[in-house]
Homo-oligomer: A and B are copies of this chain.
């Protein structure tokens, strides 16, 4: 078919003032990353098995079976095409459907790598790499989540048989939530209280086989199933989050993960020489991935909302001409462009986090644990900040699309529903900020004690200055100076931490004070985390960034990111005395002009994410902007349109119209 290609957004694309191909490399991280992503994304998009069209209309069983098919097909492709590990992981990513393999690769394997001895790794990892066993990560219980130390499942050593007895003593000790557990996993890393000789040694991981490798039936003593429907159609319902109880299930002693402590044949608990902190390394790694995913989820939503906003017209028609594109309204810009800037900001902070991870890993190997508390706080805080904002941001993008954003064909409802649990798993976002706050308060308390200020807390070294400095801003343009912005964010964050510390000092019991002031402490922690993101964006701009106009665009985005936060949290900048009302107002003025500067580049800036229409899964976000004909086409695919007269009409509608129901009473 020689149909002409539509590109309703061609005019928008011509407006771009920078080299889009160069920006694609910046976003991807490198030319290599871009090439791999691009190739694999196209591969997935062109394969009918990976089609996403019907996903939101499938019922649970159909959706689940469809997911199993995609996973199997992916595995076949990975092997047939001899994909590298990097390519394989890109492939799973672009399939864009949560599945049991996510936990197998993302949690089961890393848990064994992180917590298993070398022997254990040698035994289990090859099985897992080849998928001869499929594993999940079974920590959370029906009654216990955030507080891992509260888990009730027990693993009692039986010296007679050299086994552990895994047992669920109560209903609330049922394992609950692990992904991949419900229907697929053959194995799990199960977290349970280690009991040796009547003594409770706290929570430890154990490799437990759950299902027969012959016929997939649960092994004796094991009850396992799916926990039911979750938020949204499609979305996370392709995952078999599960429930699991143990009735005195026995496993060999050597299936306790023994890297940091072991139980001997004689029933002795022996800590190894590997320090417990080593386990935090994995956490940094996992959370870095979550921050990177935040930038991806947000940029997807922003792409959809931006493209549709440049297609959608509403009001403002002059003499019968076309109406105004909604992207030209300042309210639309003030909601959309900060999210676009945020997506870029999160991208760069995640890039930085991955270098932090490399650094931390090297130090851990050299037995240097000094940076751990800071690295831990910083990743916890960034996980919390970026996922909260991304979740809200996706929903805002949906609203920016007006009524049509409510249709599943917009892709946004599913993107939201699948994303939101990120705010809860891997640490509830509030619980995480409380950890950051605890770290900040401690850091402030130690100021002047000679304790070195590492990493992202280095700015606190200029305590005197930050408490006294007055911002030099006098004109709107002054806000374009990164040093000025940075100082304002540092001053606000530091003063908030110091204020908290002062208020805490008024309590005789520190614990009571911390609890009473916890809402304020969370705000201080967030301010600190926002500062980190701003400062890493500014650092990025100090690098050499090739490509015509690319750096200029990133500078605009960086300013928008920082100044929209300043506007949103003006109360904190003002009440800490970091800025004057006048200065805050000037920031708002320059922000408006930055929106105008960004406007002609908006489409090109989302094109730079290089997402395929398959990955976006949105009629509104189509690359070609051909929205209306496609929306119309999509509608007719709904199962309800299979018949003109709906099922149930004769039984339930006609009797009303014909007054048969009404007459019944007379």
- Residues of A570-627 at the interface with B, using a CB-CB cut-off of 8 Å, are 570-577, 581, 584-585, 588, 592
Instruction: Kindly state the separation between the CA atoms of A217 and B229 in the bound complex, as whole angstroms.
Output: 36
Instruction: Kindly state the separation between the CA atoms of A428 and B80 in the bound complex, as whole angstroms.
Output: 51
Docked-complex contact B229 and A638, CB < 8 angstroms: yes
Instruction: Kindly state the separation between the CA atoms of A79 and B648 in the bound complex, as whole angstroms.
Output: 21
In the complex, which residues of chain B have a beta carbon less than 8 angstroms from the beta carbon of A402? 145-146, 424, 428
Docked-complex contact B648 and A69, CB < 8 angstroms: yes
- Residues of A155-199 at the interface with B, using a CB-CB cut-off of 8 Å, are 171-172, 174, 176-177, 182-184, 186
Instruction: Kindly state the separation between the CA atoms of A508 and B203 in the bound complex, as whole angstroms.
Output: 70
- Closest Cβ of chain B to A390, distance in Å, is 13
A231 at the interface (CB under 8 A from B): yes
Instruction: Kindly state the separation between the CA atoms of A236 and B231 in the bound complex, as whole angstroms.
Output: 14
Docked-complex contact A228 and B638, CB < 8 angstroms: yes
Could you mark each residue 315-357 of chain A with 1 if its beta carbon is under 8 Å from any beta carbon of chain B, else 0?
1010000010000011111110000000000000000000000
A61 at the interface (CB under 8 A from B): yes
Instruction: Kindly state the separation between the CA atoms of A334 and B652 in the bound complex, as whole angstroms.
Output: 47
A88 at the interface (CB under 8 A from B): no
Docked-complex contact B665 and A82, CB < 8 angstroms: yes
A59 at the interface (CB under 8 A from B): yes
- Interface of chain A: mostly helix, strand, loop or mixed: helix
In the complex, which residues of chain B have a beta carbon less than 8 angstroms from the beta carbon of A645? 215-217
- Closest Cβ of chain B to A261, distance in Å, is 22
Q: State the interface size on chain A (CB cutoff 8 A).
A: 144
Docked-complex contact B131 and A636, CB < 8 angstroms: no
Task: Give the nearest-CB partner of A634 in chain B.
Answer: B228
Could you mark each residue 368-379 of chain A with 1 if its beta carbon is under 8 Å from any beta carbon of chain B, else 0?
000000000000
- Closest Cβ of chain B to A63, distance in Å, is 10
- Residues of A630-655 at the interface with B, using a CB-CB cut-off of 8 Å, are 631-632, 634-642, 644-649, 651-655
Instruction: Kindly state the separation between the CA atoms of A570 and B639 in the bound complex, as whole angstroms.
Output: 50
Docked-complex contact B434 and A421, CB < 8 angstroms: no
Could you mark each residue 547-573 of chain A with 1 if its beta carbon is under 8 Å from any beta carbon of chain B, else 0?
000000000000000000001011111
A363 at the interface (CB under 8 A from B): no
Docked-complex contact B60 and A57, CB < 8 angstroms: yes
Task: Give the nearest-CB partner of A227 in chain B.
Answer: B635
Instruction: Kindly state the separation between the CA atoms of A315 and B143 in the bound complex, as whole angstroms.
Output: 12
In the complex, which residues of chain B have a beta carbon less than 8 angstroms from the beta carbon of A570? 570-572, 574-575
Instruction: Kindly state the separation between the CA atoms of A516 and B233 in the bound complex, as whole angstroms.
Output: 39
Docked-complex contact B584 and A571, CB < 8 angstroms: yes
In the complex, which residues of chain B have a beta carbon less than 8 angstroms from the beta carbon of A518? 329-331
In the complex, which residues of chain B have a beta carbon less than 8 angstroms from the beta carbon of A145? 314, 402-403
Residues of A within 8 A of B (CB): 56-61, 64-65, 68-69, 71-72, 75-76, 79-80, 82, 130-134, 140, 142-147, 150, 171-172, 174, 176-177, 182-184, 186, 213, 215-218, 225-233, 236-237, 240, 243, 313-315, 317, 323, 329-335, 392, 395, 398-399, 402-403, 405-409, 413, 417, 420-421, 423-425, 428-430, 434, 515-520, 522, 567, 569-577, 581, 584-585, 588, 592, 628-629, 631-632, 634-642, 644-649, 651-657, 659, 661-662, 664-665
21 sample A-B contacts, Cβ–Cβ < 8 Å, listed by A number: A61-B642, A133-B657, A140-B403, A142-B628, A147-B323, A176-B631, A183-B646, A183-B649, A216-B644, A216-B653, A226-B640, A230-B408, A233-B237, A240-B646, A243-B635, A329-B518, A399-B420, A399-B424, A403-B421, A519-B592, A574-B575
